[in-house]
Amino acid sequence: MKSHSSRRQFLGQASCAAVSSIPVLNTMLNLRLASSLAAVTAPAAGEYRALVCLFLSGGNDSFNMLVPRTSAEYATYQASRSNLALTAAQLIDIHPLPSAQPTFAVHGGMPNLASLFDQGKAAFIANVGTLVEPVSNRTQVANNSKKLPLGLYSHSDQIEQWQTSVPNSRSGIGWAGRLADLMKAVNSNQNVPMNISLDGSNVWQTGNGVAEYSITPGDNVDAGGAVGLTSYNFGWKQYNDIQNNLGAAVDSQLAQQYTNLLQQTFNTRKKQALDAYHDFSNATATPVAGVTFPQTSLGYRMRMIARAIQGRAGYGAVRQTYFLQLGGFDHHSGVIANQAAMLPQVDGAIKAFWDAMVALGMQNNVTLFTASDFGRTLTSNSQGSDHAWGGNQIIVGGSVIGKKIYGQFPNLAVNPDVGSEVNPLDTGRGRFIPTTSCDQFFAELALWLGVAKSDLPLILPNIGNFYSQSSSSPPIGFMA
């Protein structure tokens, strides 16, 4: 059970640091819940769980990643998408429950995802996006009668909001960071942080008292991993005079006592970084046997995460998050050709990662999910698609209740520029109002990782607008 001192430390960090980074309302909410904060109980011996966030940066055109296949809905899709519509030959049918019929299809470049879906190991969340509160129709948007996310259709704002789940305020604190502030104590070795990034600094994993641990993905020559202090040796090594002297100098510096607070802090951080490098490097030195990862930037990142999960016991991890991203999805032109090149990279990397988790016996303990800036317009700008709002996301894992499409897949009819409304969710050009909020999506993942329902508002300040903590049902229901 989490100690009173560590609980006070977390609350102090949350209440002080949060003042400048999240809305005052959320700060007050944190303070109000502080007295009833549920203690974090250490998981059972050997019980491990991890979330892997794959961010498709730029705004993935996800209505070409998941396509309706019943005759009437596919005809509507073709009419709305015009020159951006995929033909039947460019799609792979899938069979979502409860129907045995192929009512949907995935992009033809994702055969492995289609197979994982039909095996019940993957699912989709349809039309999910940033929301402050539920919004029902375009009239509410046009009249500003509902609170709307800041900077809709803006890359920077929507990336931040997907990573913070605070769409009504600009924040540098992410929901995985707040989660780690709350849960990090369950990991026995605090040298290596709970949140690990394959793509450097990110908002998602930044908390009030924690930050991501950045590692390198490697390539076809370099295995990647933790980055240490150049030429520093942890112990004396024969014939390495220069490195031995450097190591001795650094060790001497670390042994000094400083009266200056800045020097003390710098010294402490350096020692923590060296300890983290040592622990992480030793634990992740061995590749996962029998699994070949694609020689792509995403494949190398997935390979490194698999090695880190394999070596988790060596650095005392029982709860973790991982962040990686693939950029280049801002397809204002060339949607068809670009997705044909990029989505197979996503597909191949996910399949190799799944195979690695199966090889390690960890497929039920690791859940991968995608995120992106926003969806894209259903209509064409004649060459590609533009910034929109709601979109479709993927979840993969042995604990996923798969072979289902969760949420409400929207009617793909587009309102005309003039005349009567045919689709209340279309705010123009197929920019769909999300019917599932990011908060619901992330709450489901946080609960699976081990956050108590009573603590959800500490992770997701607006969750009460979409889900009651007293509910006996899950926020969405896609996790077992």
Q: Per-residue pLDDT for the chain (480 aa), expressed as one digit of tens each?
A: 444 444 333 333 333 333 334 444 344 434 433 433 444 666 777 799 999 999 999 999 999 999 999 999 999 999 999 999 999 999 999 999 998 889 999 999 999 999 999 999 999 999 999 999 999 999 999 999 999 999 999 999 999 999 999 999 999 999 999 999 999 999 999 999 999 999 999 999 999 989 999 999 999 999 999 976 554 455 545 545 555 455 555 445 545 555 555 555 444 555 566 788 889 999 999 999 999 999 999 999 999 999 999 999 999 999 999 999 999 999 999 999 999 999 999 999 999 999 999 999 999 999 999 999 999 999 999 999 999 999 999 999 999 999 999 999 999 999 998 888 999 999 999 999 999 999 999 999 999 999 999 999 999 999 999 999 999 999 999 999
CA distance 210 to 17: 11
Q: Quote the pLDDT of residue 5.
A: 41
| Cis, peptide link before residue 475, omega less than 30° from 0 | no
Structural domain boundaries in the chain: 4-225+284-465
Compute CA distances 467 → 133, 235, 436, 471, whole Å: 11, 54, 11, 8
pTM of the predicted model over 0.95: no
Q: Quote the pLDDT of residue 9.
A: 39
CA distance 379 to 221: 43
Structure tokens that stand for 85 in this block: 């519509």
Compute CA distances 386 → 83, 150, 390, whole Å: 14, 18, 13
Q: Quote the pLDDT of residue 66.
A: 98
Q: Quote the pLDDT of residue 417.
A: 87
Compute CA distances 195 → 28, 42, 321, whole Å: 26, 17, 5
What is the DSSP code string of 176-232? HHHHHHHHGGGSS--SS-SEEESSS--STT--SS---EE-B---SS---B----TT-
Chain-centre distance for alpha carbon 461 = 18
Structure tokens that stand for 115 in this block: 């197979």
